[in-house]
Amino acid sequence: MAIPRVFISSTFYDLRHVRNDLEEFVKGLGYEPVMHDKGKVAYAQGSETLEESCYTELSTCDIVVCIIGNKFGTESSDGNYSITMHELQTAMKENKIIYVFIQKDVFIENGTYIANKDTGSFKPAFVDDIRVHEFILEIKNNIKNYPTQPFDSISELIGFLRLQFAGLFQRLLSQQAAQTDSKTYYDIKEVSDTIRLLVAELSDEKGEFFRKLEGTIYSTNAVIREIAKKMGLNKATFFAKDRDALEEFIQAMGFVETEASPFDVVYKRVDGRFSLTISEDIFDEQDNIKDIRNHDRISKMIQYKELERTNFLDTDIYNGDLPF
C-alpha cells in the first residue's frame, strides 16, 4: 500500500538532532520520511548530478518540511542560493504541501535585518551568511499560502506539525462525507490516495504563485534598487530584467545616452542637470541584469550626480526651444 512521503529539507550538521527527531515522528504516523542522509534519495548514475537527484526525488514526495537554522549550508549550482533554499523553491514550483520552520533567534534577527538592510552595514549575529536573511525576506514577501513558523525546540515543531497533519486529514474526511451525501454511498479511499488528491486540489493558484516565484530575484534585485534610490525613487518600485528594459525606463525618466565604452554607459537628462553612469559589469553575457548582493560594489558601479549649472543647456542633449 502506498503511503505519504515527507521530504525533510535542511542543512545537515547544525540540525542533525532536529532531523533525527523529525524522522521518528514521521515514521510514527505511518508516513515515509525522505532524507538524503538516510539513503532515501535515488541518485542517478548518468548525467544527473547528486544535487539534481535530490530535486528529482523531492518531486515524488507529497509534503515538504523545510527547516532554516543558523547555517547557509552548501551552495547550490545556481550560485546565490544554498541547496536547502533551492529545494524549497523546487517544492513551491511543484505545488507541494509545504511547512517552513525558522529557528527563533534567526527569525527575530531577520526583523532587524529588514529594518537595516538598505544601510549596507548590517552584520548578522546569528547566521553565518547574510544570504540566509535575504532568502527569509523573499519567503515572507512571496509565500502567502504556506505557514512559516519560528520554533525554539523540536517538541514545539513536532506539535505544530501534528496539528497540521490532523487538520489535513479532517478536511479530507469532510470532503469525502460531502461526496457520500451526494452519491448516497460510502467510499473512503486509502490514506495515501486521499492525501494525493488534496495536493492536487491545493494547486488552483499555481499560475499566480509561479509568476511571483519567477519574479523574486528581479523584484528584489539590489542593482535595480540602487538605480531607483539614486534617481530619487524612494517609494516607487520598478521591474527590469535586462538591458532593454532598463534603458526603456531610463529614457522614460528623461535621460538619453551620451557616451558608451566597453566599461561604462553614460546617460544625461535632457535638461542637462544630472548624469547617470552605469558599469557594463551589471549585465551578464545575455544582457540580463546580474543579481549582485555586495552593496559597496554596486555603489561603485552606479554613479548619479548633479552637473554644473553651465551644462544645463548642453546642445548635445537639449534640442528644445529656449525658454525666452
Per-residue model confidence as pLDDT tens digits over 8-49:
988 887 888 998 999 999 999 999 999 877 665 665 665 667
| CATH 3.40.50.10140 corresponds to the domain 5-167+196-218 | yes
Question: Between 116 and 221, whose confidence is greater?
Answer: 116
- pLDDT at residue 198 tops 60: yes
Q: How far from each other are the two terminal CA atoms of the chain, in whole angstroms?
A: 87
CA pair distance 74, 11, nearest whole angstrom: 8
Cell of 296: 559597496
Cα–chain-centroid distance for residue 77? 16
pTM over 0.75? The answer is no
What is the per-residue pLDDT across 99-152, written as a single tens digit (0 to 9) for each? 999 999 999 999 999 999 888 888 898 998 888 888 888 888 876 677 788 999
* Amino acid letter for position 73: G
pLDDT of residue 105: 94
Residues of the chain with CATH 3.40.50.10140: 5-167+196-218
HSE-up of residue 321 (Cα within 13 Å, Cβ side) = 2
Average pLDDT over residues 238-260: 85
